Amino acid sequence: MPQAPAKGPPQMPSGARPGTMPNSRPDSATDDVSENPLSPPDSSFRTQGNARDGSSKPDERLLPLSSGLYLVATPIGNLGDITFRAIDILKRADIILCEDTRTSGKLLSRYGVKTKRIAYHEHNAAKMRPEIMDRLGKGQALALISDAGTPLINDPGYKLVRDCKTEGFNVTAAPGASSPIVALVLSGLPSDHFFYAGFLPPKTSARKKELTRFSDIPGSLIFLESPKRLAGSLADMAEMLGDAREAAVARELTKMFEEVRTETLGNLAAHYAAEGAPKGEIVVIVGPQSERDAEPDADDIDARLVELLKTLRTKEAADQVAKETGLKKRDLYNRALELSKPSGA
């Protein structure tokens, strides 16, 4: 007589389609993860219905979500980069707030998500937030997604989260893909400290001014850029941050033609000036300033100028120190004039 199969945790069947989830864990399993896969361990979100009634234990996928705002990360390129949990939330939410309903439609159709979509983006955010607050007040569960990646990164979603927290509505997240982080880890540049700077101004003068704010940050810098402005931005970065500074240009991340080019800022600027605008969305990573490239101490500069003034004219001394340090010739010339004055003059 064949023996009954041993009981144990259910296994995901081979070839299971994305978007399906295994059955509930056996009651004997214990860890620090909430029983509800959509809720944080503090149980601030609870699935409605009788999911915790041991006599029935219905499939949680058929129950509505708890009221609140769910921030759901979506793929940045490859549609396979979405979590089971994200799909489950999108299927069970009352409304999906999309940056662009047509763009999101491709992803949602791929996974059979038929939830109603409403546009929520930079241009209608102020108008839509009162309606969203009203829906949350009526107990609805709303999922917020962007066109690609993690919501709130470079979009107005943070204002919605702020309003939700002010009104006391629950907010949680289903984390996932984010192009700045993917580019950083693929660049090979230091990732222990980094600063996300987003898009730089489109015009050169404003862009250079903005770059001066980031020059002394002790970590890698992360920028987003459009293909048509890439060469100009890299040239300005090379001028303002140092052309020998290591950097990487990442594009088409997670897609078939993914490319990450890591060189100096000077070489990258020259490459894209010659090759023209590349295709795809761009993330630029600029490595931290090395100690040898750091601006020298003012006393060291004075000492070097005094030494050179013994054998060179003022302008020549200033030019030499400018080459050695990358500092402006005019500032060094004025300082050299002061140092060359007789003591007490």
336: CB partners within 8 A, 6+ apart: 305, 309, 314, 317, 318
Contact 45, 38 (CB under 8 A): yes
For residue 195, the number of C-alpha atoms closer than 13 Å in the C-beta half-sphere is 15
134-165 pLDDT per residue, tens: 999 999 999 999 999 999 887 778 999 999 99
Q: Do domains 60-177 and 180-292 have the same CATH topology?
A: no
The beta-strand segments (E) located in the chain are: 68-72, 95-98, 117-119, 141-145, 171-174, 194-199, 220-225, 246-251, 259-264, 282-286
pTM greater than 0.85: no
User: Hey, what CATH topology would domain 60-177 get?
Assistant: Cobalt-precorrin-4 Transmethylase; domain 1 (3.40.1010)
103-119 pLDDT per residue, tens: 999 999 999 999 999 99
CA-wise closest residue to 242 among 280, 268, 278, 281: 268
User: Hey, what CATH topology would domain 180-292 get?
Assistant: 3.30.950
Each domain of the chain, given as residue ranges in start order, spans 60-177, 180-292, 295-340
pLDDT confidence of 329, banded at 50, 70, 90?
Answer: confident
On the question of pLDDT at 204 being above 60, the answer is yes
39-60 pLDDT per residue, tens: 343 444 444 433 344 444 545 5
Check residues 187 and 153 and name the one with the higher pLDDT: 187
On the question of pLDDT at 6 being above 90, the answer is no
Strand partners, 69: 142, 171
Counting residues of the chain whose pLDDT is more than 70, the rounded percentage is 79
Check residues 223 and 327 and name the one with the higher pLDDT: 223
